[in-house]
Amino acid sequence: MEKKPYFVRREFLPREVSFISLALLLAAVLLLNALLYLYLNKFYNSLGRVETDPGLCPFGHFRLGAVKNCSPWLSCEAINREVRKLKCVGEGAVKKVFLSEWKEKKVVLSQLTNSELKEDFLHGLKMLKALQSKHVVRLLGYCEQQFTILTEYHPLGSLRGLNETLHIPKYKGMNTWHRRLMLAIDYVSIIRFLHSSPLGTLVMCDSNDLDKVLSQYLLTSDFHVLVNDLDALPLVNRSAGRLVKCGHRELQGEFVAPEQRWPYGEDVPFEDDLMPPYDEKTDIWKIPDVSNFFLGHVEGSDIVRLHLFDIHAACKKKDPAERPSAQEVLDTYRKVLTLLIREAAMPGAREML
Protein backbone atom coordinates (compact mmCIF):
# COMPACT_ATOMS: atom_id res chain seq x y z
CA MET A 1 0.00 0.00 0.00
CA GLU A 2 1.47 3.25 -1.12
CA LYS A 3 1.92 5.83 1.60
CA LYS A 4 0.57 9.27 0.98
CA PRO A 5 3.11 12.03 1.48
CA TYR A 6 2.67 14.01 4.70
CA PHE A 7 2.69 17.75 4.20
CA VAL A 8 3.39 20.25 6.95
CA ARG A 9 1.73 23.55 6.12
CA ARG A 10 4.64 25.71 7.25
CA GLU A 11 3.40 28.70 5.32
CA PHE A 12 0.78 29.40 8.03
CA LEU A 13 3.22 29.56 10.95
CA PRO A 14 4.63 33.02 10.24
CA ARG A 15 1.10 34.37 9.82
CA GLU A 16 0.05 32.86 13.15
CA VAL A 17 3.12 34.28 14.87
CA SER A 18 2.44 37.65 13.29
CA PHE A 19 -1.15 37.56 14.54
CA ILE A 20 -0.03 36.71 18.08
CA SER A 21 2.54 39.51 18.04
CA LEU A 22 -0.07 41.98 16.86
CA ALA A 23 -2.50 40.84 19.54
CA LEU A 24 0.15 41.22 22.23
CA LEU A 25 1.04 44.68 20.96
CA LEU A 26 -2.60 45.76 20.97
CA ALA A 27 -2.99 44.43 24.50
CA ALA A 28 0.08 46.39 25.58
CA VAL A 29 -1.32 49.56 24.00
CA LEU A 30 -4.66 49.07 25.76
CA LEU A 31 -2.89 48.49 29.07
CA LEU A 32 -0.76 51.59 28.53
CA ASN A 33 -3.87 53.67 27.79
CA ALA A 34 -5.51 52.40 30.96
CA LEU A 35 -2.43 53.31 33.02
CA LEU A 36 -2.28 56.73 31.35
CA TYR A 37 -5.95 57.29 32.14
CA LEU A 38 -5.39 56.47 35.81
CA TYR A 39 -2.28 58.67 35.95
CA LEU A 40 -3.90 61.66 34.26
CA ASN A 41 -7.08 61.27 36.28
CA LYS A 42 -4.96 61.42 39.43
CA PHE A 43 -3.07 64.42 38.02
CA TYR A 44 -6.19 66.43 37.19
CA ASN A 45 -8.05 65.64 40.39
CA SER A 46 -5.29 65.57 42.94
CA LEU A 47 -2.32 67.46 41.56
CA GLY A 48 -4.25 69.76 39.25
CA ARG A 49 -5.89 72.73 40.90
CA VAL A 50 -9.48 71.61 41.02
CA GLU A 51 -12.13 74.02 42.31
CA THR A 52 -13.53 71.78 45.04
CA ASP A 53 -11.09 70.55 47.62
CA PRO A 54 -12.39 68.32 50.44
CA GLY A 55 -9.31 69.32 52.46
CA LEU A 56 -10.27 73.00 52.56
CA CYS A 57 -11.65 74.38 55.79
CA PRO A 58 -15.04 76.11 56.10
CA PHE A 59 -15.17 79.79 55.21
CA GLY A 60 -13.37 81.89 57.81
CA HIS A 61 -11.02 79.08 58.86
CA PHE A 62 -7.65 77.66 57.81
CA ARG A 63 -5.45 74.64 58.33
CA LEU A 64 -1.67 74.97 58.24
CA GLY A 65 0.87 72.22 57.55
CA ALA A 66 0.11 68.75 58.93
CA VAL A 67 -2.39 70.04 61.51
CA LYS A 68 -5.72 68.23 61.13
CA ASN A 69 -8.03 70.74 62.80
CA CYS A 70 -9.16 74.00 61.25
CA SER A 71 -8.55 77.27 63.08
CA PRO A 72 -10.49 80.54 62.66
CA TRP A 73 -8.75 83.34 60.80
CA LEU A 74 -6.56 85.27 63.20
CA SER A 75 -8.01 88.55 64.46
CA CYS A 76 -6.23 91.87 65.02
CA GLU A 77 -5.62 90.93 68.64
CA ALA A 78 -4.24 87.48 67.78
CA ILE A 79 -1.95 88.86 65.05
CA ASN A 80 -0.55 91.52 67.36
CA ARG A 81 -0.05 89.03 70.18
CA GLU A 82 1.08 85.88 68.39
CA VAL A 83 2.81 86.90 65.15
CA ARG A 84 6.46 87.98 65.23
CA LYS A 85 8.14 89.74 62.29
CA LEU A 86 11.47 88.27 61.21
CA LYS A 87 12.57 90.35 58.21
CA CYS A 88 11.26 92.34 55.25
CA VAL A 89 11.28 90.21 52.08
CA GLY A 90 9.62 92.54 49.61
CA GLU A 91 7.92 95.87 49.00
CA GLY A 92 5.60 97.02 46.23
CA ALA A 93 3.52 100.08 45.47
CA VAL A 94 0.76 99.00 47.84
CA LYS A 95 2.31 96.96 50.65
CA LYS A 96 5.43 95.77 52.41
CA VAL A 97 5.89 92.03 52.99
CA PHE A 98 7.53 90.49 56.06
CA LEU A 99 8.63 86.92 56.67
CA SER A 100 7.15 86.27 60.10
CA GLU A 101 6.55 83.52 62.64
CA TRP A 102 3.37 82.20 64.23
CA LYS A 103 3.47 79.28 66.67
CA GLU A 104 6.92 78.26 65.37
CA LYS A 105 5.63 78.24 61.78
CA LYS A 106 6.82 80.67 59.12
CA VAL A 107 4.07 82.91 57.73
CA VAL A 108 3.85 86.08 55.62
CA LEU A 109 2.65 89.39 57.02
CA SER A 110 1.67 92.11 54.51
CA GLN A 111 1.13 95.71 55.58
CA LEU A 112 -0.09 98.76 53.69
CA THR A 113 2.68 101.27 52.97
CA ASN A 114 0.83 103.94 50.98
CA SER A 115 -2.35 105.28 52.59
CA GLU A 116 -3.49 106.64 49.21
CA LEU A 117 -3.79 103.04 48.01
CA LYS A 118 -5.79 101.67 50.93
CA GLU A 119 -8.77 100.96 48.64
CA ASP A 120 -6.55 98.70 46.52
CA PHE A 121 -5.31 96.96 49.67
CA LEU A 122 -8.83 96.37 50.99
CA HIS A 123 -9.99 95.17 47.55
CA GLY A 124 -7.17 92.62 47.57
CA LEU A 125 -8.24 91.44 51.01
CA LYS A 126 -11.85 91.15 49.87
CA MET A 127 -10.79 89.04 46.88
CA LEU A 128 -8.51 86.90 49.03
CA LYS A 129 -11.34 86.10 51.43
CA ALA A 130 -13.92 85.39 48.74
CA LEU A 131 -11.72 83.31 46.42
CA GLN A 132 -10.10 80.89 48.87
CA SER A 133 -9.46 77.69 46.90
CA LYS A 134 -6.62 75.51 45.67
CA HIS A 135 -5.80 78.27 43.19
CA VAL A 136 -5.24 81.03 45.78
CA VAL A 137 -2.69 81.49 48.54
CA ARG A 138 -4.10 80.48 51.93
CA LEU A 139 -5.41 83.30 54.12
CA LEU A 140 -4.54 82.91 57.83
CA GLY A 141 -5.89 86.16 59.23
CA TYR A 142 -6.25 89.91 58.75
CA CYS A 143 -6.77 93.22 60.52
CA GLU A 144 -8.62 95.85 58.50
CA GLN A 145 -8.05 98.57 61.08
CA GLN A 146 -4.27 98.15 60.81
CA PHE A 147 -4.30 97.21 57.09
CA THR A 148 -2.59 93.88 57.76
CA ILE A 149 -2.96 90.51 56.02
CA LEU A 150 -1.47 87.18 57.15
CA THR A 151 -0.96 84.40 54.59
CA GLU A 152 0.80 81.06 54.21
CA TYR A 153 4.55 81.10 53.54
CA HIS A 154 5.97 79.40 50.42
CA PRO A 155 9.79 79.25 50.58
CA LEU A 156 10.29 79.00 46.80
CA GLY A 157 8.83 82.46 46.40
CA SER A 158 7.31 83.99 43.28
CA LEU A 159 7.49 82.59 39.76
CA ARG A 160 10.16 85.14 38.89
CA GLY A 161 12.69 82.76 40.46
CA LEU A 162 11.47 79.62 38.67
CA ASN A 163 14.51 79.11 36.43
CA GLU A 164 16.93 79.73 39.30
CA THR A 165 15.02 77.23 41.46
CA LEU A 166 15.16 74.58 38.72
CA HIS A 167 18.95 74.89 38.60
CA ILE A 168 19.29 74.06 42.30
CA PRO A 169 20.56 70.43 42.55
CA LYS A 170 17.58 69.45 44.71
CA TYR A 171 15.12 70.47 42.00
CA LYS A 172 17.00 69.64 38.80
CA GLY A 173 14.86 66.53 38.36
CA MET A 174 11.85 68.84 37.98
CA ASN A 175 13.42 70.68 35.04
CA THR A 176 11.60 68.71 32.30
CA TRP A 177 9.12 69.64 29.58
CA HIS A 178 6.52 67.54 31.41
CA ARG A 179 6.80 69.39 34.73
CA ARG A 180 7.04 72.78 33.02
CA LEU A 181 3.89 72.10 30.98
CA MET A 182 2.10 71.12 34.20
CA LEU A 183 3.03 74.52 35.66
CA ALA A 184 1.61 76.21 32.55
CA ILE A 185 -1.58 74.19 33.02
CA ASP A 186 -1.76 75.42 36.62
CA TYR A 187 -1.41 79.01 35.41
CA VAL A 188 -4.15 78.67 32.78
CA SER A 189 -6.34 76.91 35.38
CA ILE A 190 -6.04 80.01 37.58
CA ILE A 191 -7.02 82.29 34.70
CA ARG A 192 -10.01 80.03 33.99
CA PHE A 193 -10.94 80.12 37.70
CA LEU A 194 -10.81 83.94 37.78
CA HIS A 195 -12.89 84.22 34.61
CA SER A 196 -15.60 81.99 36.11
CA SER A 197 -15.17 82.82 39.80
CA PRO A 198 -17.96 82.83 42.41
CA LEU A 199 -17.88 86.63 42.15
CA GLY A 200 -18.17 86.72 38.37
CA THR A 201 -15.66 87.35 35.58
CA LEU A 202 -12.49 88.84 37.09
CA VAL A 203 -9.60 90.32 35.08
CA MET A 204 -5.97 90.02 36.24
CA CYS A 205 -4.94 93.66 35.80
CA ASP A 206 -1.50 93.57 37.44
CA SER A 207 -0.07 92.12 34.25
CA ASN A 208 1.45 94.87 32.11
CA ASP A 209 4.71 92.99 31.53
CA LEU A 210 6.01 89.46 32.06
CA ASP A 211 7.97 90.27 35.20
CA LYS A 212 4.89 91.85 36.78
CA VAL A 213 2.77 88.80 35.94
CA LEU A 214 5.29 86.38 37.44
CA SER A 215 5.46 88.43 40.65
CA GLN A 216 1.73 87.85 41.22
CA TYR A 217 2.10 84.07 41.53
CA LEU A 218 3.85 81.74 43.96
CA LEU A 219 5.63 78.43 43.36
CA THR A 220 4.75 75.88 46.02
CA SER A 221 7.16 73.29 47.42
CA ASP A 222 5.33 70.53 45.55
CA PHE A 223 5.67 72.52 42.31
CA HIS A 224 2.27 74.04 41.74
CA VAL A 225 1.24 77.61 41.06
CA LEU A 226 -0.88 79.82 43.35
CA VAL A 227 -2.10 83.34 42.70
CA ASN A 228 -0.88 85.56 45.51
CA ASP A 229 -1.66 89.21 44.72
CA LEU A 230 -5.30 90.10 44.08
CA ASP A 231 -5.17 93.88 44.58
CA ALA A 232 -6.04 94.67 40.94
CA LEU A 233 -8.89 92.33 40.03
CA PRO A 234 -11.82 94.27 38.51
CA LEU A 235 -15.12 92.66 37.54
CA VAL A 236 -16.54 92.34 34.03
CA ASN A 237 -20.35 92.29 33.87
CA ARG A 238 -21.51 92.16 30.27
CA SER A 239 -25.20 92.00 31.11
CA ALA A 240 -24.84 95.28 32.99
CA GLY A 241 -22.57 96.74 30.31
CA ARG A 242 -19.62 96.89 32.70
CA LEU A 243 -16.15 96.48 31.21
CA VAL A 244 -12.79 97.32 32.81
CA LYS A 245 -9.66 99.42 32.43
CA CYS A 246 -6.42 98.33 34.07
CA GLY A 247 -5.39 101.56 35.75
CA HIS A 248 -5.60 105.14 34.60
CA ARG A 249 -2.29 105.42 32.78
CA GLU A 250 -1.37 104.69 29.18
CA LEU A 251 -0.21 101.10 28.63
CA GLN A 252 2.38 100.33 25.97
CA GLY A 253 4.31 97.40 24.55
CA GLU A 254 3.51 94.14 22.78
CA PHE A 255 2.89 92.25 26.02
CA VAL A 256 -0.38 94.03 26.76
CA ALA A 257 -3.34 93.29 24.49
CA PRO A 258 -4.02 95.62 21.52
CA GLU A 259 -7.27 96.86 23.08
CA GLN A 260 -5.30 98.01 26.14
CA ARG A 261 -3.21 100.41 24.06
CA TRP A 262 -4.16 103.98 23.20
CA PRO A 263 -6.13 103.68 19.93
CA TYR A 264 -5.95 107.28 18.69
CA GLY A 265 -2.29 107.55 17.67
CA GLU A 266 0.64 109.60 18.89
CA ASP A 267 -0.84 112.90 17.70
CA VAL A 268 -3.65 112.66 20.27
CA PRO A 269 -2.49 112.97 23.90
CA PHE A 270 -3.62 110.17 26.19
CA GLU A 271 -6.74 110.87 28.23
CA ASP A 272 -8.12 108.24 30.55
CA ASP A 273 -11.72 109.35 29.93
CA LEU A 274 -11.30 108.71 26.19
CA MET A 275 -9.69 105.29 26.62
CA PRO A 276 -12.19 102.53 25.70
CA PRO A 277 -12.72 99.76 28.30
CA TYR A 278 -12.20 96.06 27.58
CA ASP A 279 -12.93 92.60 28.95
CA GLU A 280 -11.18 89.47 30.25
CA LYS A 281 -9.80 88.53 26.82
CA THR A 282 -6.78 90.69 27.67
CA ASP A 283 -5.69 87.81 29.93
CA ILE A 284 -5.97 85.37 27.01
CA TRP A 285 -3.64 87.53 24.85
CA LYS A 286 -0.88 87.14 27.47
CA ILE A 287 -1.10 83.36 27.92
CA PRO A 288 1.37 82.43 25.10
CA ASP A 289 4.08 84.74 26.48
CA VAL A 290 3.68 83.46 30.04
CA SER A 291 3.59 79.83 28.86
CA ASN A 292 6.71 80.40 26.77
CA PHE A 293 8.47 81.39 30.00
CA PHE A 294 7.19 78.27 31.74
CA LEU A 295 8.36 75.93 28.97
CA GLY A 296 11.89 77.32 28.98
CA HIS A 297 14.53 75.69 26.79
CA VAL A 298 14.72 72.12 28.07
CA GLU A 299 14.69 69.01 25.89
CA GLY A 300 11.22 68.53 24.45
CA SER A 301 9.96 72.06 25.09
CA ASP A 302 10.05 72.95 21.38
CA ILE A 303 7.85 69.93 20.62
CA VAL A 304 5.35 71.20 23.21
CA ARG A 305 5.42 74.66 21.60
CA LEU A 306 4.74 73.08 18.20
CA HIS A 307 1.65 71.31 19.55
CA LEU A 308 0.44 74.55 21.18
CA PHE A 309 1.08 76.69 18.09
CA ASP A 310 -2.53 76.85 16.86
CA ILE A 311 -4.12 77.67 20.22
CA HIS A 312 -1.45 80.28 20.91
CA ALA A 313 -2.04 81.84 17.48
CA ALA A 314 -5.74 82.03 18.36
CA CYS A 315 -4.87 83.74 21.68
CA LYS A 316 -3.06 86.43 19.71
CA LYS A 317 -6.03 87.36 17.50
CA LYS A 318 -6.30 91.14 17.32
CA ASP A 319 -10.07 90.99 17.77
CA PRO A 320 -10.74 89.93 21.39
CA ALA A 321 -13.98 88.22 20.40
CA GLU A 322 -12.02 85.81 18.18
CA ARG A 323 -9.75 84.64 20.99
CA PRO A 324 -10.58 81.38 22.77
CA SER A 325 -11.89 81.26 26.32
CA ALA A 326 -9.58 80.24 29.16
CA GLN A 327 -11.50 76.95 29.33
CA GLU A 328 -10.74 76.23 25.66
CA VAL A 329 -7.05 76.98 26.21
CA LEU A 330 -6.99 74.75 29.28
CA ASP A 331 -8.68 71.89 27.40
CA THR A 332 -6.08 72.14 24.64
CA TYR A 333 -3.18 72.16 27.10
CA ARG A 334 -4.52 69.03 28.78
CA LYS A 335 -4.99 67.25 25.45
CA VAL A 336 -1.42 68.09 24.45
CA LEU A 337 -0.11 66.79 27.78
CA THR A 338 -2.03 63.53 27.35
CA LEU A 339 -0.81 63.08 23.76
CA LEU A 340 2.84 63.77 24.56
CA ILE A 341 2.86 61.52 27.63
CA ARG A 342 1.41 58.71 25.52
CA GLU A 343 4.00 59.21 22.80
CA ALA A 344 6.84 59.44 25.33
CA ALA A 345 5.68 56.31 27.14
CA MET A 346 5.54 54.17 24.01
CA PRO A 347 7.67 55.65 21.21
CA GLY A 348 7.32 53.91 17.88
CA ALA A 349 4.03 52.21 18.76
CA ARG A 350 2.30 53.88 15.83
CA GLU A 351 4.95 52.64 13.39
CA MET A 352 4.75 49.12 14.81
CA LEU A 353 1.01 49.06 14.22
Domain boundaries of the chain, sorted by first residue: 71-153, 154-346
Which pLDDT band holds residue 42 (cuts at 50, 70, 90)?
low
Q: What is the pLDDT averaged over residues 187-205?
A: 97
pLDDT at position 37? 52
**Bridge partners of 141?**
74, 150
Q: What is the pLDDT of residue 4?
A: 52
pLDDT at 248: 92
**In this predicted structure, which of 23-32, 80-89, 102-111, 322-331 has the lowest mean pLDDT?**
23-32
Mean pLDDT along residues 276-298: 97
Beta strands 71-72; 61-62: pairing state = antiparallel
The superfamily in CATH containing domain 71-153 is Phosphorylase Kinase; domain 1 (3.30.200.20)
Instruction: Return the minimum-mean-pLDDT range out of 51-55, 65-69, 113-117, 147-151.
Output: 51-55
Question: Helix, strand or coil for residue 205?
Answer: coil
What was the pLDDT predicted at 123?
A: 94
311 and 268 Cβ atoms separated by less than 8 Å? no
CATH classification (class only), 154-346: mainly alpha
- Asked if the model's pLDDT at residue 277 lies above 90, the reply is yes
Task: Summarize the confidence of residues 186-194 as an average pLDDT.
Answer: 98
pLDDT of residue 347: 63
pLDDT digits (tens, 9 = 90+) for 116-156: 999 999 999 999 999 999 999 999 999 999 999 999 999 99
When pLDDT is cut at 50, 70 and 90, the band that residue 46 belongs to is very low
Question: Looking at the predicted structure, is the pLDDT value of residue 83 above 90?
Answer: yes
Q: Phi/psi of residue 127, each to 5°?
A: -65, -40
